[in-house]
Amino acid sequence: MMNLAILGFGTVGSGVAKVLAENAAEVAAGAGEEVRLKYIVDVRDFPDSPFAPLLVKDFAVVENDPEVGLVVETIGGCGVALTFTRRALQAGKHVVTSNKQLVAEHGVELLALAKEKGVNYFFEASVGGGIPLLRPLFNDLSANKILAMKGIVNGTTNYILTAMEQSGKELDEALKEAQALGYAEQNPDSDLDGTDAVRKACILADLAWGRELKPEKVPAEGIRGVALQDIRNAASTEGAIKLLCRLIRQEDGTVYAWVAPHFVPKTSMLAHVDSAFNAVVITGSAVGDVLFYGTGAGSIPTASAVVGDVVDAVRHKHAPRGIGWTDAPLTLGDPDTLPARWYIRSGDSWSITEAMPAGMLPQAQVRYRVLD
């Protein structure tokens, strides 16, 4: 039997506890043994929760319990989550996380520590919520040279843009709706500014090409400048405005990485990804384009990916899987040098340009690449 602890009992942590309880038989069958939740670590009290008897406030209880072999980190951020992850790995415990910031900024260190201690560090839920994405990228597409990746990886911004398109709401009104439904945090800056999508793009690049892409190296333009007028202009010509992460690798190894709103023609599958759903298209040298689509956020869908990692970690507890990348940086190019068609708007006038680098564009109030 594998005993585990959950760190953080918020949206994702509570979902993990629920999935472990409700799908115990399926989890045990997949893992090859019973998986038992022994502790939940949180500084808060949850007296009305059925899991209240498992709550402890001191991580040292988990750290020093030899019966606990696996830790699920759902705290978020790079503060106490980083400290507890280091301590768990040092104690020889497998760690599973949904924390994209931690993986994007400290993945090299934590994966190296896991390797040193002979344990697994898994993070499927850090990109795409409940979508099986990272494991297929690392395993099933390993016979391919990954040529490009593009997609909608932030459910909050996609919900907002969909609400603007379908209900005619301005961005601020659509944001308030997303917050009321729990899709957006009260402080939505990392979503609106593209920071969240950048972290996920970095994890995709790290796994695909085996070298580190630091978030601060990826230019990002969020959706704050997207007006209802732009949404309507796109719709009038069979298009949609979507926030995309883009990763392109040239034959010489140069990688172009960025996050920005794009004009997406309706001929693209990504134009039809609405609400809080995510979708990523991976282009491989052998397989061509492969689409991964599904719920990109939410307690239970994200917990599905987390518990999938738990099963994989238990199954490979004696032979950890060699997931990782080096700290050698990727060679990066300037995305603005890549020719593209552009949606440009000045006042009420707008048009789609011929393909050209950003530096050749005429003056415009708004400009978004067209996804070709």
Please check whether residue 364 lies inside any domain of the structure.
no
117: Cβ contacts below 8 Å, ≥ 6 apart: 89, 90, 92
Q: What angle do CA 111, 116, 120 make, to 5 degrees?
A: 50
pLDDT the model gives residue 354: 97
Residues 204 and 266 in one domain: yes
pLDDT of residue 50: 97
Q: How many domains would you assign to the chain?
A: 2
Kindly state whether residues 166 and 21 are assigned to the same domain: no
Q: Confirm whether 311 is domain-assigned.
A: yes
Query: Which residues, 6+ apart, have CB-to-CB distance to 119 below 8 Å?
Result: 89, 92, 93, 94, 95, 317, 320
Comparing CA positions, the residue from 275, 322, 348, 299 lying closest to residue 118 is 322
CA 81 – CA 266 distance, rounded (Å): 41
Q: What is the model's pLDDT at position 182?
A: 82
Same domain, 177 and 262: yes
Tell whether 140 and 192 lie within a shared domain: yes
Expressed as residue numbers, the domain containing 267 is 134-295
Which residues are designated catalytic? 200
232 backbone dihedrals φ, ψ, rounded to 5°: -70, -40
* Structure-token pair, residue 265: 């023609």
Q: Are residues 321 and 264 in the same domain?
A: no
Residue 50 in domain:
yes
Let me know whether 166 and 118 are in one domain.
no
In terms of domains, do 115 and 159 share one? no
Residue 18 shares a structural domain with residue 164:
no
DSSP 52: G
Report the predicted TM-score, pTM, of the whole model to 2 decimal places: 0.97
Query: Is there a single domain that holds both residue 194 and residue 54?
Result: no
Q: What angle do CA 135, 137, 140 make, to 5 degrees?
A: 80
Look at residue 264 in the predicted model and tell me its pLDDT.
98
Q: Say if 359 falls within a structural domain.
A: no
Mark the ranges of the chain whose per-residue pLDDT is less than 70.
none
Q: Does any domain span residue 371?
A: no
pLDDT digits (tens, 9 = 90+) for 145-186: 999 999 999 999 999 999 999 999 999 999 999 999 888 888
Q: Looking at residue 155, which CATH number applies to its domain?
A: 3.30.360.10
Query: Final residue of a domain: which of 273, 295, 317?
Result: 295
Q: According to the model, what pLDDT value does residue 47 have?
A: 94
pLDDT at 29: 98
CATH code of the domain in which 112 resides: 3.40.50.720
pLDDT of residue 322: 85
**Residues 171 and 152 reside in one and the same domain:** yes
Please tell me whether residues 275 and 313 are part of one structural domain: no
Are 125 and 188 found together in one domain? no
